[in-house]
Amino acid sequence: MAFPIQKVLKLAHSTFSKLSKGIAVDTGSLSPIKSLLDQIRASDVDFDASNFRGRQAPVTYVKLYEDRVMSVGIFVMRNGAKLPLHDHPGMYGLCKTIHGEMKVESYSRAVMSDDVIMRKMSTLPFSNVIPVNKKDSACLSEEDECCVLTPDSGNFHEIRAVGDMAAFLDILAPPYDYETMTRTCQYYTLLEDTDEFNDLQVQWLNEIDEPRDFWCDSSDYTGPTLQDI
């Protein structure tokens, strides 16, 4: 009998393997994965918050599984820590809180001509800005559903612990690819100014270096085996 986390990953792997074959993944096909992931709790991945207290790093990463199709891990954010505003270029993601409470603020890239973007850049002391629309702002506990991002929706987001330590299970497909530099993580800061285009509130992100106060350490996964998915 398969463990719940094995069922989630087996279905996710089967679904996202289509991407490597050039087959598009529609948002409807994510619903079965999401339904299973929504039921996952800390005990299903042998997560014990007491094992992560006293660490110095703001965030600890626990690797569950990774291959060319997807990466799966647990991010553990200590009190007051966050994953800074970042992107997932061309990727799908599902994040499920398994401990504590976390706040997710997500943005989608706004549809805008290059001319408008260039005019905006000419008014700013920055060389690389991206127009976005606010997608969501939500506080999520282990009782809440997972959040979902796609290449076009919610692809820029920040996740922070609310109150005490928070942890979430994260599935990304395809994974980041730093060998070919085709899918790399970029960090951003949200600019204060806002514009209106076609009655939509457009905000602007400025690409920045990885924040100096953010870093991760790692910890071993001790839950059910996931190699035969």
What's the rounded mean pLDDT across residues 24-49?
94
What is the per-residue pLDDT for 141?
Answer: 96
156-161 and 166-173: which strand pairing? unpaired
pLDDT at 27 over 60: yes
What would the mean pLDDT of 201-205 be, rounded to a whole number? 87
| Residues 183 and 86: beta-carbon distance below 8 Å | no
Query: Is pLDDT at 1 greater than 70 in this prediction?
Result: no
CA distance 62 to 60: 7
Q: Which pLDDT score, from 0 to 100, does residue 196 have?
A: 67
Tens digit of pLDDT for each residue in 4-21? 999 999 999 999 998 877
Tell me the average pLDDT of the chain. 90
Hey, CA dihedral for 167, 68, 185, 152, is it positive or negative?
negative
Q: What is the mean pLDDT of residues 152-162?
A: 95
Residue with token string 């330590």: 165
pLDDT at 148: 94
28-37, 48-57, 123-132: which has the minimum mean pLDDT?
123-132
Asked whether residue 123 carries a pLDDT value surpassing 60, the answer given is yes
For 3-33, letters b (16+ CB in 10 Å) and e give ebbbbbbebbbebbbebeeeeebeeeebeeb
User: Residue 25: its pLDDT value, please?
Assistant: 84
Neighbours of 35 (CB within 10 A): 13
Q: Band of the pLDDT at 208, cuts 50, 70, 90? A: very high
pLDDT at 160 over 90: yes
| CATH 3.40.50.970 assigned to 4-110+133-187+210-219 | no
Q: Token pair of 104, please?
A: 């997710």
Q: Can you give the pLDDT at residue 17?
A: 92
- 199: pLDDT strictly greater than 60: no
Tell me the whole-structure pTM to 2 decimals: 0.91
Asked if the model's pLDDT at residue 228 lies above 70, the reply is: no
For the cut 70, the answer to whether the pLDDT of residue 126 exceeds it is: yes
Q: Alpha-carbon torsion 65, 144, 132, 17, what sign?
A: positive
